[in-house]
């Protein structure tokens, strides 16, 4: 079934299908306490052919029915990206015509929305042989889908933690492919994919930094992860080169011990963290107190990364 939408509305679709299990709906109380919680998640799933419905032929303007995605099949295709709404729990398989946006030898290393509402992912190949891997790329989920090769990375570097800023730029964090420091903040050219390092803010050479979020007031936040997963919320100020540590993240008095998958700021300025404690599943969305680092569990969300859609 074809369902044509504009780029701005793409991230807000009432997506069909239930690809990911374990998701319950937000309670009315949680919705009342957290206005403008327009969150989408992205993850990966095998692409499956069932009966006459070829999921690999579904593109970003088509919807997939529940019956097709919930059926059992042995015809497993390469993994693909799956976009899911936190509000509705419905999901959509994303392909560029009949081509999967994510292959089995690739990982999703970043996810964000631009100021015009376009969703963007960073995809990083994982070398499975001695052959030269394909380069890192960023893909605009459109429609239409557009892909740019990222230039300016060293062979052992990875682009991740994408953030579409309020003023229309795309920035990210670059570190080694195994996630180790040094970590650098970069600008990404939206026309060419070329990266340039931002020298105004510098992290310590031994700090593991991940996730970027910007609130409506223009303040940037990130997180620093310790050797045992302990995670500290950090504010980035362009007037001060050294990041400002705000407090260690914790839930019910227990220190958070596993880093974060994503950090997002809502349209009302509420900071949201996404992830799971070590050895726990699924990931969940948490409200974060910026001053104390206290996290309040809001909703389980079985996906990989999240971002805020924009109108």
Q: What is the pLDDT of residues 227-274, one digit of tens each?
A: 889 999 999 987 767 889 999 999 999 999 999 999 999 999 999 999
Closest CA to 260 of 310, 214, 221, 309: 221
pTM for this predicted structure:
0.79
Average pLDDT over residues 298-307: 95
Residues 6+ apart with CB under 8 A from 84: 15, 19, 20, 23, 40, 41, 42, 43, 90, 91, 92, 301, 303
CB of 193 closer than 8 Å to CB of 138: yes
Name the helix (H) or strand (E) containing 296.
Answer: strand 294-300
What pLDDT digit, counting tens, does each position of 61-112 carry?
333 333 233 333 334 445 678 999 998 888 888 877 767 788 888 889 999 9
Average pLDDT over residues 148-152: 95
User: Please, is 87 exposed, middle or buried when counting C-beta atoms within 10 Å of its C-beta (0-12, 13-18, 19+)?
Assistant: middle
- Is the per-residue pLDDT at 284 higher than 50? yes
What pLDDT digit, counting tens, does each position of 159-213 carry?
989 999 999 999 999 998 877 889 999 999 999 999 999 888 888 888 899 999 9
Residues 6+ apart with CB under 8 A from 130: none
User: Please, is 208 exposed, middle or buried when counting C-beta atoms within 10 Å of its C-beta (0-12, 13-18, 19+)?
Assistant: buried
């Amino acid at each position: 079934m074809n369902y044509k939408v504009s780029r701005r509305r793409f991230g807000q679709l009432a997506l069909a299908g239930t690809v990911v299990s374990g998701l319950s709906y937000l309670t009315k109380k949680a919705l009342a306490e957290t206005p403008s919680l327009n969150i989408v998640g992205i993850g990966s799933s095998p692409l499956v052919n069932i009966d006459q419905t070829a999921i690999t032929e579904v593109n970003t303007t088509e919807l997939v029915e529940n019956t097709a995605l919930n059926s059992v099949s042995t015809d497993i295709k390469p993994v693909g990206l799956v976009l899911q709404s936190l509000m509705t729990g419905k999901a959509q398989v994303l392909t560029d015509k009949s081509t999967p946006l994510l292959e089995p030898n690739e990982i999703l290393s970043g996810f964000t929305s631009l100021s015009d509402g376009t969703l963007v992912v960073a995809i990083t190949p994982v070398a499975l042989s001695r052959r030269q891997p394909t380069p890192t790329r960023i893909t605009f989920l459109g429609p239409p889908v557009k892909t740019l090769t990222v230039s300016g990375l060293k062979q052992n570097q990875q682009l991740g933690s994408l953030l579409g800023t309020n003023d229309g730029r795309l920035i990210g964090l670059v570190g080694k492919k195994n996630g180790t420091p040094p970590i650098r903040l970069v600008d990404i050219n939206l026309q060419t994919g070329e990266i340039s390092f931002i020298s105004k803010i510098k992290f310590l050479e031994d700090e593991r930094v991940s996730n970027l979020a910007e609130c409506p007031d223009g303040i940037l936040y990130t997180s620093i992860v310790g050797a045992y997963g302990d995670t500290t919320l950090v504010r980035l100020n362009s007037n001060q080169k050294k990041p400002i540590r705000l407090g260690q993240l914790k839930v019910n008095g227990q220190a958070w011990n596993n880093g974060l998958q994503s950090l997002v700021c809502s349209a009302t300025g509420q900071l949201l963290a996404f992830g799971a404690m070590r050895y726990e599943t699924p990931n969940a969305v948490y409200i974060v107190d910026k001053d104390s680092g206290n996290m309040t569990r809001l909703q389980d969300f079985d996906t990989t990364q999240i971002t805020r859609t924009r109108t």
